[in-house]
Structure 1
Amino acid sequence: MHQHIHVNTLTLQKVARKKFDIPEMYKSPVIRKVKEATKVMDPMKKDLQPSVLDFGPVQFYVPRFFGFCYGVENAIDIAYRTVAEHPDKNIYLLSEMIHNPTVNEDLLDRGVKFLFDTDGTERIPISSLSSEDIVIVPAFGTTLEIQEELQKVGIDPYQYNTTCPFVEKVWKRGKQLGKKDYALVVHGKYQHEETRATFSHSADHSAVVVVLNPEEAKILAELMTGEKDASDFEKYFGHKSTPGFDPQKDLQRFGVINQTTMLATETQDVMDILKEAAISKFGESDILDHFADTTDTLCYATNENQSATLQLTQCDADLALVVGGYNSSNTMHLVEILEEHFPTFHVRDSEELISRAEIRHFNQWDKEIRTTIDWLPGGKEPLKIAITSGASCPDILVDEVMLKVLEYFENTRSVDEVIAPFEKELD
């Protein structure tokens, strides 16, 4: 079911060489040591077994990969350096730089202003800016339309561009296909900033349609093969496709690209569904003329984090905690994986842990913050907790959540004692 996802090796080598300057306040004394030690013990990234932090009455299972990814570290490095180097300039972010409230609130405290809300609602008109102002493009990228607006007021949208290189890779692959007259199917959440940006860049050269999940991919497949009436297209996809999109004509030649924070295995399912429909319509011998292989565009970090989370589901945890922003797509997918196996709580930070008896957490299906009573099982020691975080979550927030949990127990081992074996690996 959980197939291997191909990732470009050369791209990974380039990523491994890049080093970022991350503010000290986001670095953690506990999780950082675990991550550094596992890099030493497993330099080839072949072991997905979680680490165990044994505090006595509580044990935490920590996955092999989680937290800040390359694209987020790149964005934080550029944004904070820009703020530090230009104390006398007006600095704006197009919208949230990443989907983490701690990072965004800190940038606001430093005087950075947002031009748009995450849903695209305008806060400050671009037309009110001047060429002396600085605008930082967030990790999700932005649309061609907004790029043009910035250029009209004399601002170079690429001067302080923190767009994730893996998002840009998706755009470049889409453009290559567009030059060969391929349509594009985007697997993503249509209202998400990244998908809005990818749609805009793709629509510049191709017919484009967005599908949310495998269920929508099946509907699109049936429209492509003629099993569903063509008039149904407007109902399902009219609001998230380029004008005049015709599944039977435009999907004669197409490729699938994705919002990089989606479940990688789900993107593969979308690809497989649409490829099978193309084989059914055009025949297997000619499939390469109709369906482009785009698996090399899948984000390595998303794949690693999700694969490590799948491995985490094999442990004997009593519950799971996922730390990350409540509007973070990649964080919600980690929750989705874990909640099939354990009681799982998505918290933005340690303040959501009210007491041993009470926790506030986000339910993505009902899109509401809930309060759960008696969330920590009583009478069981050691209590085993799987813990992870989204790609935009600083490790220090995971430390703080763990330490908050430990406050509810007596006779726990010290942090120094627990991380000593990991520090030994670093000697």
Structure 2
Amino acid sequence: MAHSQPSSPEISPQDPRALRKALRGSATYFAKGFEEHKDQVQSDLQTTYKSPLVEQIRAQSYRYQQGEITIRLAKAFGFCWGVERAVEYAYEARRRFPDRQLWITNEIIHNPLVNQHLEAMGIRFVGKGPDGKKDFSQIQPQDVVLWPAFGASVSEMEFFRSQGNEIVDTTCPWVSRVWNQVDKHRAAQFTSVIHGKYNHEETLATSSFAQKYLVVLNLEEAEWVARYILEGGDAADFQQRFSKATSPGFDPDQDLERIGIANQTTMLEGETRAIAKLFETTMLRKYGPQQLDDHFMSFNTICNATQERQDAMFELIEDPLDVMVVIGGFNSSNTTHLQEIALEKGLPSFHIDGPDCIQPGNRIRHKPLHQDITVTEGWLPNGPVQIGITSGASTPDRVVEEVIRRIFALREPSELPF
């Protein structure tokens, strides 16, 4: 029997706060993993994703040289706590429900190796139908459903709760923290202005908690909105410009009178702060200091791990590097922003998703910023070369190790001494 997708009219929208409370009180909802399987899973993760080579390089001041190639690692990179927690919960769920069909409503994290491992364990990923929406028709009430680190939308939560599925929630607590802020916006009848990518899984989930929302991609878009708030403009032009990034029925002449700031946790930290400050100044100019609190709300929802990795990237590119390699899923937002930092410095930088991108003959398969995947010949300069390496929050150290080995093999095919 086919089941409705979460966008179906059969699903009655609930107050998000009440829905989350109902879920937490349910015996079929698990958000803390499964303690009885933690030791074995930790051993599995250590074997599968950790890297003795990377630990050695960390211990050597994040630097390793062999021949004419010197590797410089960022001081913070790779798996963050939230990602590690999500992967751990997925492995524990497989052990807790060995004979049940497990589904994940999206990639659990943006890393192809991790997602391949989960598929090999018999965990299935929800695909999309012809209309581009997630197709839940194959998920039966007796199946176990995992929500990924990015979270699930309110309609998805209600769908699986009403269907009676057991739910394993791996949502990153930093994402939940943003939802709590958006809950406050909703309760105060404020519009949530979200710094993020309107079609990213995390932003889709976050916006579903808002009564009214507007998603701005960057400071340029935020400045355009700020001018509209102060000077007015053509509402039809506004609605066309942000047609995919606003809540249904969004009216910029009414819905921008009271705004609260939220963000996708993997955006550039400095840009999120700049956007928040811009809108605070805008509302101050429009309504004055006495009425500011009636028209503007802001709260720091930047993920600590995202900020640490960006700070480490800024520090790394101050070194005299010849080239930068940024490792992470091609659809990983936080990895893309690490790439932006290198490019803004004017440093040749290559975003790759794994070791197979380092190809024989000094070729590299990579994704230039805002472009399609391509292959570049002769990417590694001749002679002595300093290579900076970092990785996104969804990239295991084992992947970083394999990339490093492939790079050294371009010059010296012999094995590394450790």
Which bracket does the TM-score occupy, shorter chain normalised?
0.7 to 0.9
Q: Deviations over 1:100-151 (max 9, x none)?
A: 111111111111111135999456x434433321110011111111112212
1:199 aligns with 2:204: no
Alignment root-mean-square deviation, CA: 2.4
C-alpha distance in 2, partners of 1:149/1:221? 37
Render the CA deviation track for 1:215-254: whole Å, top value 9, x for unaligned: 1111111221234333322121233212332334323222
Q: Which of 273, 288, 291 in structure 1 is aligned with 2:293?
A: 288
Equivalent residue in structure 2 for 1:151, among 146, 161, 167: 161
AA in 2 matched with 1:136: L
Partner of 1:106: 117
- Cα distance between partner residues in 2 of 1:106 and 1:325: 15
What count of residue pairs does the alignment treat as equivalent?
A: 377
Task: Tell whether 2:191 aligns with 1:183.
Answer: yes
The reply to whether residue 126 of structure 1 matches residue 136 of structure 2 is yes
Q: What is the CA distance between 1:415 and its match in structure 2?
A: 4.1
Work out which of the residue numbers 320, 338, 341 in structure 2 matches 1:337.
341
Q: Would the alpha carbon gap of residues 397 and 128 (structure 1) be closer, same or farther in structure 2, given more than 3 Å must change?
A: closer
Structure-2 residue corresponding to 1:137:
147
- The residue type paired with residue 225 of structure 2 is L
Shift of 1:65: 0.7
Inter-partner Cα distance in structure 2 for 1:118 and 1:60: 44
In 2, Cα distance between equivalents of 1:114 and 1:265 = 34
2:90 is paired with a residue of what secondary structure? helix
Q: Per-residue CA shift, 1:38-76, capped at 9, x if unaligned?
A: 9xxxxxxxxxxx732223421111111110011110110
Separation in 1, partners of 2:125, 2:74: 34
**Structure 2: stretches of 5+ with no match in the other structure:** 1-37
Does the CA contact (< 8 Å) of 2:62 and 2:75 recur in 1? yes
CA 1:117–1:95 in 2, change beyond 3 Å: closer, same or farther? farther
- Residues of 1 paired with 2:238 and 2:409: CA distance? 55
Cα deviation digits, residues 277-307 of structure 1 (max 9, x gap): 1122112343233221212x11111111111
Q: How far off is 1:259 after superposition?
A: 0.7
Per the alignment, in what secondary structure is the counterpart of residue 339 of structure 1?
Answer: helix
Q: Which residue of 2 aligns with 1:404?
A: 406
Is contact 2:182-2:206 (8 Å) kept?
no
Structure 1 residue identity aligned to 2:377: I
Say if 1:126 and 1:149, in contact at 8 Å, map to a contact too.
no
Read off the aligned partner of 1:150 and give its amino acid letter: F
TM-score between the two structures when normalised by the length of structure 2:
0.84
- Paired position in structure 1 for 2:21: none
> 3-state DSSP class of the match of 2:262?
strand
1:316 matched to 2:316? The reply is: no
- 1:413/1:78 Cα in 2 relative to 1: closer, same or farther (>3 Å)? closer
1:94 partner amino acid: T
Q: Which residue of structure 2 lines up, in the alignment, with residue 25 of structure 1?
A: 48
Letter in 2 for 1:25: T
Whole-Å separation in 1 of the counterparts to 2:413 and 2:401: 19
Q: For residue 268 of structure 1, report the CA deviation from its aligned partner.
A: 1.2
Distance of aligned partners of 1:415 and 1:165 in 2 relative to their CA distance in 1, 3 Å threshold: farther
**Equivalent position of 2:126 in the other structure:** 115
Which of 86, 89, 105 is the aligned partner of 2:97?
Answer: 86
Instruction: Decide whether the 8 Å contact of 1:324 with 1:349 is kept in 2.
Output: yes
Shift of the alpha carbon at 1:26? 0.7
**In structure 2, distance between residues paired with 1:127 and 1:409:** 51
Instruction: Return the match for 1:214 from 216, 219, 239.
Output: 219
C-alpha contact (below 8 Å) 1:356/1:376 kept by paired residues: no
Residue 174 in 1 paired to residue 178 in 2?
A: no
- Residue identity (%): 37
Q: Secondary structure at the residue paired with 1:126?
A: coil
The answer to whether the Cα contact below 8 Å between 1:326 and 1:362 also exists between their aligned partners in 2 is: yes
Q: Do the aligned partners of residues 115 and 410 (structure 1) sit closer, same or farther apart at CA in structure 2, a change above 3 Å counting? A: closer
**Structure 1 match to 2:330:** 326
- 3-state SS of 1:194 partner: helix
* Pairing 1:351–2:356 present: yes
- Aligned partners of 2:57 and 2:63 also within 8 Å: no
Contact 1:350 1:397 in 2 (8 A): yes
Distance of 2:355 and 2:202 partners within structure 1: 28
Deviates more, 1:313-322 or 1:112-121: 112-121
More contact order relative to length (CA 8 Å, sep ≥ 6): 1
| Alignment map for 1:159-170 (pairs within 5 Å) | 159-170=167-178
Tell whether 2:284 aligns with 1:279: yes
Residue 250 in 1 paired to residue 255 in 2? yes
TM-score in terms of structure 1 length:
0.83
Q: The residue matched to 1:173 in structure 2 has which SS?
A: helix
Q: Verify the 8 A CA contact 1:56 1:412 in the aligned structure 2.
A: no
